[in-house]
Chain A
Amino acid sequence: SAVISQKPSRDICQRGTSLTIQCQVDSQVTMMFWYRQQPGQSLTLIATANQGSEATYESGFVIDKFPISRPNLTFSTLTVSNMSPEDSSIYLCSVVGTGFDQPQHFGDGTRLSIL
């Protein structure tokens, strides 16, 4: 399976600031997703990162708060904007490889704390 590198692995930020998380894959993938996981909770899909076009957001998530880029088939960024303590969470990049009916694989995640 693809090797997924996510940066930063963790950060502590001040409220009102923004943080950009990077996801780099070592091979081309068809799909890239961004998930959020609160401590002890399930994985919630934020959006699908579409190559060369605007991301597709799930209900409850908006582009102004979580702008996403995907300039090519191996790289994506998620920005968490104007952060508040409620944004403290683990943010995970997930990819689906080429081929039919491939599973999702996850990056190691970014542990974000907002003071």
Chain B
Amino acid sequence: QQPVQSPQAVILREGEDAVINCSSSKALYSVHWYRQKHGEAPVFLMILLKGGEQKGHDKISASFNEKKQQSSLYLTASQLSYSGTYFCGTSNTNAGKSTFGDGTTLTVKP
């Protein structure tokens, strides 16, 4: 079942913050976050496995709620390099494959 991502698009100025959400109607095994720049392959950002988990690196972090049905990606003090389309991929089992949301296009302007 495809997860629902919101918003579809975000436009920011450098230094502003953004939140991207990923929701499922059923509890998930895991959530993966990816960023894809135009003409390039999706690049893995992070994986969340546990309910209530929060993790991140630099100024990009993510959370997974206790029920394991919603994840959020937080981008703080955004930089021009953060521009791209962000996808969440969700798995119902540990079989490895993911179903991806429709993506959120993030544009950071100077």
Contact B44 A103 (CB under 8 A): yes
Q: How far is the CB of B105 from chain A (nearest CB, A)?
A: 9
Contact B96 A30 (CB under 8 A): yes
Q: Mark A6-39, 1 if CB is under 8 A from B, else 0.
A: 0000000000000000000000001101000000
Within 8 Å by CB of B96, from A1, A104, A108, lies A104
Size class of the A contact interface (CB-based, 8 Å): 20 to 34
Within 8 Å by CB of B47, from A42, A103, A106, A108, lies A103
How many inter-chain contacts with C-beta < 8 Å in the A-B complex? 50
Contact B41 A101 (CB under 8 A): no
Q: How far is the CB of B103 from chain A (nearest CB, A)?
A: 6
Q: How far is the CB of A66 from chain B (nearest CB, A)?
A: 16
* B51 is an interface residue with CB less than 8 A from chain A: no
Give Cα A49 to B22, complex, Å.
27
Q: Mark B66-108, 1 if CB is under 8 A from A, else 0.
A: 0000000000000000000001010000111111111100000
A binding-site residues for B, Cβ under 8 Å? 1, 30-31, 33, 41-45, 48, 92, 96, 100-109
Mind listing 22 A-B residue pairs with CB under 8 Å?
A30-B96, A31-B97, A33-B97, A41-B102, A42-B2, A42-B87, A43-B42, A45-B97, A45-B98, A48-B97, A96-B96, A101-B30, A101-B47, A101-B94, A103-B44, A104-B89, A104-B97, A106-B34, A106-B42, A106-B43, A107-B41, A109-B41
